[in-house]
Chains A and B, each alone.
Chain A
Amino acid sequence: MSEAAVHDDHHDHKPTGIGRWLFSTNHKDIGTMYLLFSLLMFFVGGAMAIVIRAELFQPGLQFVNPQFFNSMTTMHALVMIFGAVMPAGVGLANWMIPVMIGAPDMALPRMNNMSFWILPFGFTLLLSTFFMDGGAPAGGWTMYPPLVLQTGNAFPFLIFTVHILGISSIMGAINIIATVFNMRAPGMTFMRLPLFVWTWIITAFLLIAALPVFAGAVTMLLTDQYFGTSFFDAAGGGDPVMFQHLFWFFGHPEVYILILPAFGIVSQIIPTFSRKRLFGYTSMVYATVAIAFLSFFVWAHHMFTVGMPLAGELFFMYATMTIAIPTGVKIFNWVATMWRGSMTFETPMLFSIAFIVLFSVGGFSGVMMSITPVDFQYHDTYFIVAHFHYVLVTGAVFALFAAAYYWLPKWTGHMYDEGLGKLHFWTSAVFVNILFFPQHFLGLAGMPRRIPDYAVQFADWNMVSSLGGFAFGLSQLIFVVVVFKCIRGGDKVTDQVWEGARGLEWTLSSPPPFHSFTVPPKVTEESAHG
């Protein structure tokens, strides 16, 4: 029986009905499910953000009690990070990696489906805690003990959510590694891989190395709570700060897990719309590797105020500053790609340009925070909140929007509504800055984060920020309209879609056949990365 299943299952002969989605072994269907799920979670997490911003609209308690406010903050972060941004990244990887490396599918298609289907169950587990005695977790997404041990009935649900999502991500990462290492078409050498694929392999390694540590750390929380161990309790010889070390050993690589795929996306888009090859491909690859490697040695910059010995503070300060160097290389390479290109500014390009500018703004505040003695002032204020929303929202989320616009025509075979796309971009880009830029001022002026109510001198900027937040949130509805319209119909697009696009994905029809490459394509230097 040497003929492969692919041949039984002829090109557009798709499984039908609900079974197509429940039992899927198809990377595109699974990718689509990932992407839709993450969009849903973006709105769930966004709705929580709106509650936060509404409460902070003016001083005094308006809508929610402080306990519920803390639940909102905690769940907002968990849903956004683990439900929106990570699954969106995995969804894109699922859709694009096989078509970018010339494979028919992911290496382990059944496991791929399990990685996805765990997610809806995992978030059911997490979101159900809202209806429990004691409410949803309210100890912050960082889950520091001893506070997190005061969580009510939700506590084990929180821990197990981490476990189950960890299982999903690790399986996803293993799949990506197996696919890239094993399924490349002949001629697709490593140094010809599109950068999106490169950033994803590195991300996959980060996932496999970081997530189990997080799982281990929360397991210790569980035993401290229910089995009388004292890992995080000085009374028994442990240390609450130990949890922070374990958490951030995971947590810092985690933020690069969120941003590296975004770097990959931007590295695909900028050359396409500059009609010019990516500048410094090799250094891009090395910079990505360097960022990932360094990310395991900087974790304690989140903990400068816990009172580490001087040597520790210095080490983590220097190490953290170092990350600016490879990241700078990336920024400069993008600018150099645009330099003397022949640029047009369709929506994906607009989001990518905004990404470069606004991510850098977040990166600059990151460098400021890496300076230990000054971070003593910044730490746990809105300055931090501003920093990480710049890198997460205008960084990761903007890149995801760029990716969606860039590949939607490929996925659906239809052009999206460029007018609406531009509208979405301009409203988002303007309002997101009204939302987050003033938070720098708030932080510097002394407003702590994670508070439901604040002193009167912080009122003005909070109001501005909230207004920006509402407007930014509403702007996201445009995106839903664009996606919906594009799936329903629109102008037919060519295989290449974009004039400057290069790479294997643009050699397939739009939309691509059900099993992407049933016969491996031959890859040459010319047809390789953009």
Chain B
Amino acid sequence: MSKPRTSMLRTLFLIVVSFTSMLVVTPAWADWALNLTKGVTPISHQVYDLHMRILWIMVVVAIVVFATMLWSIIHHRKDKGAVAAKFHHSTALELLWTAIPIAILVVIAIPATKTLIAMEKTADADITIKITGYQWKWEYNYMGEDLTFFSVLAADSRAVVDKTSDAKPEDIDNYLLDVDNPVVLPINTKIRILTTAADVIHAWWVPALGWKRDAIPGFINDNWTYIEEPGIYRGQCAELCGKDHGYMPIVVKAVSKAEYQTWLVETKQKIAEASSGADREWTLDELMARGEGVYKTNCAACHQANGEGIPGVFPALVASPIATGAVEDHINIVMNGKAGTAMAAYGAQLNDIDIAAIITYERNAWGNKVGDLVQPMTIQATR
């Protein structure tokens, strides 16, 4: 019996010690991404401090409890001749170990309450941004600025996920954590952030800002942030939202106020350019070329890049009755979506040219050979 005992002891000791020590050394390894980020806002600093304080308290409680147990295991063993004592309760002790945890919890609760109250103070913001989650992309609306755009997973990551590229995740900068259009925010500005969703629940989370918040269809949640350092901060959707939940990253680019102003002007210009030309006739080749790109960013997540969909979940567009049938039905489903399914109304999301291009593309790609083309003006007329 003595062999298993010593090995048991050793291993138990190892488990207890190695885990408490793992917890203890955590802060020292912060660069190695073992611990919560300190973040770049006053709130995120408070949250980090709170986290560390509770973590330490837990470590101390753990050490006290486990050490007592270990002592007992080492000394009060039958094969060491220990004889069982007879006591089986002690009111004083029991009161004591009810009271001490209460005290500990109060010590934790006070700063926690303060931080929470600070987090709720959303008033007096300088700018307000409305963020809408879609399956599977984010829409950013700079309220009062007439600026709205979508942000989806960057093309290089997408290609790896879709297996259309031979690259390995390690070959790509910020695999899964990069987007086409980052959301640009000014530093040293109180920014109010509203979250909502268009289809299912998502959650907007950038760890460096110190919080996450659910984006719930039909409701608005509000929150705020105040970024103190310029930089690029990455995050992800943090609420299961279907197939591509893992593929809707968030990138915040924090810049100086002046740069922010320039960016606003430039971006608005770019968007205006992209939707100019809606009033002219487009050729099939032009529409096909544009359609392919827009299809990849907006539709391929469900209907797949090859148009074959996922049987039983997302219908194939190849030879589909709608994509090869009457053009009105096709326009209708893309513009208005289909209520109660994952198929969203794209009329509100894309401009006339993009919609015309997608529809044209779908009707003439992957062996669909309807041959007709839909002009942006036709789309405009349906609005």
B160 on the interface (CB 8 Å rule)?
Answer: yes
| Contact present for A66 and B246 (CB under 8 Å) | yes
The answer, among B84, B113, B212, B235, for a CB contact under 8 Å with A379, is B212
A495 on the interface (CB 8 Å rule)?
Answer: no
| Contact present for A133 and B69 (CB under 8 Å) | no
B211 on the interface (CB 8 Å rule)?
Answer: yes
Closest residue of chain B to A433 (Cβ to Cβ) is B15
Closest residue of chain B to A350 (Cβ to Cβ) is B8
A144 on the interface (CB 8 Å rule)?
Answer: yes
> Given A67-B310, A235-B218, A433-B19, A360–B47 Cβ distance below 8 Å?
no
Alpha-carbon distance A342/B246, docked complex (angstroms) = 53
Can you list 18 A-B contacts with CB-CB less than 8 angstroms, sorted by A residue number? A60-B168, A135-B313, A140-B240, A146-B201, A146-B217, A147-B240, A276-B86, A276-B88, A280-B89, A324-B101, A339-B72, A345-B77, A353-B12, A364-B62, A380-B212, A446-B236, A451-B246, A456-B170
A331 on the interface (CB 8 Å rule)?
Answer: yes
Stretch at the interface among A17-25, A251-259, A293-301, A302-310: A302-310
Q: Using C-beta atoms within 8 Å of the partner chain, give the interface range for chain A.
A: 35 or more
Alpha-carbon distance A429/B19, docked complex (angstroms) = 13
| Contact present for B242 and A147 (CB under 8 Å) | yes
The 10 closest A-B pairs by CB, nearest first: A234-B218, A451-B246, A307-B221, A133-B312, A445-B33, A134-B312, A340-B85, A376-B211, A59-B169, A364-B58
Alpha-carbon distance A361/B113, docked complex (angstroms) = 24
| Contact present for A321 and B105 (CB under 8 Å) | yes
Minimum CB–CB distance for B36 against chain A, Å: 5
Which B residues between 42 and 87 are near A, CB-CB below 8 angstroms?
46-47, 50-51, 54-55, 58, 61-62, 65-66, 68-69, 72-73, 76-79, 82-87
| Contact present for A341 and B84 (CB under 8 Å) | yes
Which A residues between 441 and 455 are near B, CB-CB below 8 angstroms?
441, 444-446, 448, 450-455
The answer, among B15, B82, B236, for a CB contact under 8 Å with A342, is B82
Besides A134-B313, A139-B242, A448-B205, 14 other A-B contacts (C-beta < 8 A): A60-B160, A60-B169, A66-B245, A67-B243, A152-B312, A234-B218, A307-B214, A324-B101, A338-B73, A342-B78, A374-B112, A376-B47, A429-B15, A454-B176
> Given A339-B76, A453-B161, A377–B207 Cβ distance below 8 Å?
yes
Closest residue of chain A to B119 (Cβ to Cβ) is A373
Q: Which residues of A contact B175 (CB under 8 A)?
A: 59, 455-456
Stretch at the interface among B91-99, B272-280, B323-331, B360-368: B91-99
| Contact present for A279 and B242 (CB under 8 Å) | no
Alpha-carbon distance A376/B211, docked complex (angstroms) = 5
Question: Which residues of A line the B interface, CB within 8 A?
Answer: 59-61, 65-67, 70, 132-135, 138-140, 144, 146-147, 149-150, 152-153, 233-235, 239-241, 274-283, 305-307, 310, 313-314, 317-318, 321-322, 324-325, 328-329, 331-333, 335-336, 338-345, 350, 353, 356-357, 360-361, 364-365, 367-368, 371-374, 376-377, 379-381, 422, 426, 429-430, 433, 437, 441, 444-446, 448, 450-457
> Given A59-B175, A60-B160, A149–B212 Cβ distance below 8 Å?
no
| Contact present for B176 and A453 (CB under 8 Å) | yes
Minimum CB–CB distance for A465 against chain B, Å: 14
Closest residue of chain A to B19 (Cβ to Cβ) is A437
Closest residue of chain A to B163 (Cβ to Cβ) is A61
| Contact present for A450 and B88 (CB under 8 Å) | no
Q: Which residues of B contact A350 (CB under 8 A)?
A: 8
| Contact present for B94 and A380 (CB under 8 Å) | no
The answer, among A279, A306, A338, for a CB contact under 8 Å with B76, is A338
Q: Which residues of A contact B86 (CB under 8 A)?
A: 276-277
Alpha-carbon distance A328/B243, docked complex (angstroms) = 41
| Contact present for B98 and A70 (CB under 8 Å) | no
> Given A66-B243, A276-B88, A340-B84, A241–B216 Cβ distance below 8 Å?
yes
